[in-house]
Structure 1
Amino acid sequence: MVDPSFATIPVRADRDVVDIALVVPLSGPAGMFGPSCEASAELAAEDINAAGGILDRPVRIHPVDAGAPLSDLADELGRLVAQDRIDAVVGWHLSNARRVITPQTAGRVPYVYTTFYEGGESTDGVYMVGETPEQQLFPALTWLREHLGLKRWCIVGNDYIWPRQTARVTKEYMWRSGFEFVGEAFVPLGGRDFRPMLDVIRRSEADGVLVLMVGADNAAFNRAFARAGLDQSVVRLSLMIGEDVLCASGRGATTGLYTACGYFESLPTEVNMGFGSHYQQRFGGAAPALNNIGESCYEGLLLLTALAQTARSLEVAAIDRARSNVAYQGPRGEVVMRGAHTRQPVYLASADELEFDVIVELTP
């Protein structure tokens, strides 16, 4: 069930429902992902409740806008945790939002972060669904070199934690793995002047561009990249992208574009095709596009359920003792906990106008 308000939630000791703050972007550059995140989480809550809930209690999710000013987001989560209004936090959001949430949740309530990210998170009680560069990005670069001969890479992105830290670890990987790093450029979140960035790409004579941009910014960059004619000679590897970003980019702006992640709507597996049908039956033809970003929120609630059911508790200490035994089956296949992170299949896909064609399962 979904409840947009926290005002009537009793404190934990007085309620028989598992209340979860669903922290997803409802505004800002990543706001285009919000509808698919909410729909996927709502479907997960319904499926979990149909199977008996978490610890025999029904699940209730409460959306929180991760696109709000960071200070407001921190205050909201801090208040909810301090007042015992929530049992857990789950959500897809940017790393700068995660950085202000973790001090509020650390050791107090479980926090399942569903986004692929730059790596290195070790806060007590934070559990990661998303892929790290070692699982997702580095194998994709290796495959593109082996099969397309791409060695010279430029990196472009938004100017915040995830792109900057991902660029740092990627450059280190390139230097020790025989790639050529030939340039980088960043623009602020919401920025639309890509001319300096495009100039860097042209001058670098790169074979490929690693694109670390968010939502609407990513779509705008794709259009500018195509208008500049770079799509005819330079391959893009773009990480924070789903079918909704392809649609916003437009048919003429996705030539030579690749991505890598743990989920695609087009995955030809029985479990995924069943999930896609289930999603369409629940929300109909006007449903938000099902993509890896929204689907991660479904996975996040499955992981929280598996952690709590295995530990027989929602307390962080109990979950930490039990997490090495946690695994579950979801739309991505088998997901297994390794420390605070997960091991899961990761796939490489190429854009075919407004859809992705899965090419291969990557090997870390």
Structure 2
Amino acid sequence: MNPYEHRRRNVSLDEDDQRIAEAFADFFGSVVSPDSVRQAEAEGIDRELWQRAVEMGVTSMALPEDLGGDDAGVFALALVAGEAGRVLAPIPFIDHVVATRLLVATGDPAAVPLIAAAATGETILAFAAQPLDARRLVSSAAIATHTVGFDGADIVVVSADEPRARVRNRAHLPSAWVDPAAERNLRLASPDAPTAYRRARDEWNVLTAAALAGLTAGSLALGAESTKTRETMGVPLGMLQGVAFPLVDAHIGAVSARSLALRAAWFLDHEPDAESHLPAAAVVYAHDVAVRGTNVSAHVQGGLGFTNEAPTTPYFLRAHGWALAGGDLRAERRHIVESELAARRAARALEPHSAVLAH
């Protein structure tokens, strides 16, 4: 029996995982507030929070020990992403760690100085979730000097001599255009650049899915609290089935999205060649859940929930924008279908051999 078989079907947290989740829940919950989130919207980052997060180890925890890291995996990163998403922490955590791990995956010595600077948070890295074979909009490029991506043949680092102009967007991400033809390029030697990049894309999808699941939970907590404190005809709003049932349904979606994200993270850590559709499935499902969940949260708060000043509004806006920073989700849906079809074809191809062995 596969020694991982039980764990493959069980994504509950062990003691170490629980400690990581609790530590970062406490950290983000104590230092991030609705006011600080709104204040960071102009630049797209809270630099004081970024420094404190670096001190917590978010930039180094998933690097190899010989590069100053703790050798944590994607599962641990997903726990951090979930707690960051719950409070809308305005830091480029996901892009930065995915870009840094992609540099490590190349094994090119030329990347080592940049990895060291990224590990200490001194340098912020952007990750190009779409191939850098042309001018691309990259979600963290306005605050990052270096953008790590794939140009169709090699892993590349595209660097700007001047800060890039930020492009306004509904998710308040520090997005900017990156033009490899007009900026400095460093090509890194990699034994299999396409595979390394696809792995980085998978990690980005999984961590974004975890963040979206946390975002949905955070938004629903605001909606639920509102229904407990507001009344209609002498009873709390939350007592009404038309209010309670949609909230519960959305909560189930958030829990399921988190579970799927953690399952996908576990496979990336332990069996990266199996269940290759999971990262795409996780981000697509989490995006759909977040859009619906934040809409429900705003709706149960009545007209107040749809004002610009409402605490739930930033959740609503980011739910629509976070996953789309990676490009068109239809591409991920196609990847899910293609992976499933390939698995079924492979299973059918083995059927005659299985029948022979059975006799």
Shorter chain as denominator, the TM-score bin is under 0.3
Structure of larger gyration radius: 2
Q: Which has the higher contact order (CA 8 A, sep 6+)?
A: 1
Q: TM-score, normalised to structure 2's length?
A: 0.28
Higher helix share: 2
Q: TM-score, normalised to structure 1's length?
A: 0.27
